[in-house]
Amino acid sequence: MISPLEVAEDEQAIGEQDGGPDQPPAELDAVREMVLRAYPDVVPELVAGDSVAALLASVEPARSAYARLAETWAGSRDAASAPVPAGGGAVIAVDPDRLPAAEKIRRGLVMADTRKG
């Protein structure tokens, strides 16, 4: 990996030769695309800068942000994937002798409605 300090020194030397450190946006975009391909484990929105040195310097914070997001996502996915019994659980047998009269009437009316419709 190229050190951002080395790139900054090279840019400074080039800037002194041709009068300005500004890079054409097309070249800077091409360098950004190469950085994103080289480091797939970064948050792309955080890889930015107005020079090659700034782009390279933004890689490490983007990688650490990606690692934090991946860790958070993995932790929430583990918590959400708690085992759930298939089929909604076991059927609980109800003793009709223990039901109150109002519940027996309610269940009878529900059964009568389901048989009609």
Model pLDDT for residues 82-93, shown as the tens digit of each residue? 666 666 667 778
Domain parsing of the chain, residue ranges: 4-80, 91-116
Model pLDDT for residues 30-72, shown as the tens digit of each residue? 999 999 999 999 999 999 999 999 999 999 999 999 999 988 8
Phi, psi of 76 (to 5 degrees): -70, -30
For tokens 């583990």, the residue is 78
Task: Spell out the residues 6+ positions from residue 59 whose beta carbon is closer than 8 angstroms to its own.
Answer: 35, 39, 42, 47
pTM value is 0.46
User: Of the candidates 89, 97, 4, 98, which has an alpha carbon nearest to the alpha carbon of residue 51?
Assistant: 4
